[in-house]
Amino acid sequence: MAIMSPAIWYKVEQLPWPADWAALFGRAAPLLMEIGFGSGLFLTDLARRRPEANVLGVEISVPALRRAGRKLERAGLGNVRLIQADAAAVLRALCLPASLSAVVINFPDPWPKKGHDARRLIDDEFLCLLASRMVTGGLLDIATDHDDYAAQIEAALRRSPHFAGRAATPFVLSDPGRLTTKYERVALDEGRTPRYFPWRRNDAPAADRFPIPQEYAMPHVVLRGAADLDEIGRRFRPSVAEFDGGIVRFIEAYRSLTDGKLLVETYIHEGPLRQRLGLELRPRLNGEIVIGLAEVGFPRPTRGVHVAVARLVDWLAAEFPALVIVNSTLKENHADDAE
């Protein structure tokens, strides 16, 4: 198997949806996932103990990815890959149904402040999404030292039709043989008792409401009429447009000093997917304006991107009534999707 440096990490928008894990790991093998691996101690140990498996580490924190990447590289492990993303986005966009053999979540952020508990990772919806991506019999292991979160996890697992406990009780107070994580060490040193939830995906069919996000054609709209990009840039104001699948924020407009393009910085939030990208307005010599996606980063032409371009065109049409659309690849109707 080719050893690829685990210090390199991927982002959801860089990989195909769904990901081709066999290509990424250089072999087909059972897929294990650790969500929120933090310092990477447990992930390194998992990859070492399970050489026959492909091990995927998912983490949102870039410093954590750097530290864990160095550990994995020093350990010379070739069966682990890292993704920098929110776990829900990885599950949703990269993982096919019934593709994960095991998932570990050690000491997820407890969000202890009053009113912040809605930010916790593990709830009914997350367990449904997880269930849709796990194989029947796949192992789910969760640990926490936070009393209130433990109660929430226990209640969600008990309510879930998709998981069954592997122990006689919903959680156990020790899990001998497993490596102690950094947060677990802190909890033990401070006298808190971690709870370990050893559960298993049962054979109940998963909900069919988490499709892999669809990608559309690259958006491309051509406008003709009396409007110049200087004036468009001057009239631009930040704005927000909601649509039935999420929200679009137009943040700022920038003018290129070299080729005259106008770049509209745009944030698109669709379910667990978030993209910050540039919508580009390019002048043609014949006076037409072409609107498309700027080649900055790894923009993916999702439905939200088509909605964003449609909203931008709506705004332009309202501000410059002389503009007419002469060509459009947009899948989303103008105006209809705004509400």
Ligand X SMILES: C[S@@+](CC[C@H](N)C(=O)[O-])C[C@H]1O[C@@H](n2cnc3c(N)ncnc32)[C@H](O)[C@@H]1O
What is the set of active-site residues? Answer: 109
Q: How far is the CB of 179 from ligand X (least distance, A)?
A: 10
Whether the CB-CB separation of 241 and 339 falls below 8 Å is answered with no
168: left (phi over 0), alpha (psi -120 to 50) or beta: alpha
Buried b (16+ CB within 10 A) or exposed e, 153-178: bbebbeebebbebeeeebbbeebeeb
Q: How far is the CB of 41 from ligand X (least distance, A)?
A: 7
Residues near ligand X, by CB under 6 A: 35-39, 58-61, 64, 86-87, 106-109, 121, 181-184
Whether the CB-CB separation of 167 and 198 falls below 8 Å is answered with yes
Query: Which of 56, 232 has the CB closer to ligand X?
Result: 56
Sequence letter at residue 161: P
Rounded Cα gap, residues 123 and 255, in angstroms: 44
Q: What is the DSSP letter of 172?
A: B
Q: How far is the CB of 328 from ligand X (least distance, A)?
A: 36
Q: How far is the CB of 20 from ligand X (least distance, A)?
A: 21
Which among 212, 217, 287, 276 has a CA at the least distance from the CA of 249?
276
Query: Which of 156, 223 has the CB closer to ligand X?
Result: 156
Query: Which of 154, 184 has the CB closer to ligand X?
Result: 184
Query: Which of 145, 332 has the CB closer to ligand X?
Result: 145
